[in-house]
Structure 1
Amino acid sequence: MLSGKQKRFLRAKANQLKPIFQVGKIGVNQNMIEQIIDALEKRELLKVSILQNCMEDKDTVARLLAEGTGAEVVQIIGNNIVLYKESEENKQIHLL
């Protein structure tokens, strides 16, 4: 569980990131979760964009992604979700 100070730090780092995944009409699937797990291992922090044709609401999508990947939801802003998961081999972000 991230503290408020850690979330603020991660939100600031995520501010300049571009979304690298998009959730569309079919919603969250196992293939997407596996790709996000791989990306989180390399980057630790990433944004996921929710397209307008997505049938599920953003809170549900964020919950499904967090549960499937084991990541923490840092922020849901607009149609973007920021996820963080500490990398085991490629640690780049040092939280206090």
Structure 2
Amino acid sequence: MLTGRQKRFLRKEAHELNPIFQVGKGGVNPNMVNQIAEALEARELIKVSVLQNCEVPKEEVAELLSERSGSELIQVIGRTIILYKESSKNKQIKLP
């Protein structure tokens, strides 16, 4: 569990990032979760965009992705989800 200070730090770090995944009409599927887990291992911090044609509410998508990928949900802002998971092999981000 991250502290408020750590989440603020990660939100600041994520500001410059572009979303690398999009959740559309199909919603969250196992293949997408696997790819997000791999991206989190490589990058630690990612953004996911929820398209307007997604039938699942964005908050539910955020919870599903966070839960299934084993990551920490940092923020849902608009239709963008920020996820963080500390890498076991390639640690890049030093939390305060």
Q: Compute the TM-score of the two structures, normalised by the length of structure 2.
A: 0.99
1:19 aligns with 2:19: yes
SS at match of 2:61: helix
One-letter identity of the residue aligned with 2:87: S
Question: How much has 1:95 moved relative to structure 2?
Answer: 1.0
- Equivalent positions of 1:3-82 (< 5 A) are 3-82=3-82
4+ aligned runs moved over 4 Å, structure 1: none
Question: How much has 1:33 moved relative to structure 2?
Answer: 0.2
Structure 2 residues not aligned, in runs of 5+: none
Q: Compute the TM-score of the two structures, normalised by the length of structure 1.
A: 0.99
In 1, Cα distance between the equivalents of 2:7 and 2:14?
10
Aligned residue pair count: 96
Question: How much has 1:53 moved relative to structure 2?
Answer: 0.2
One-letter identity of the residue aligned with 1:13: E
> Percent identity, aligned pairs only?
62
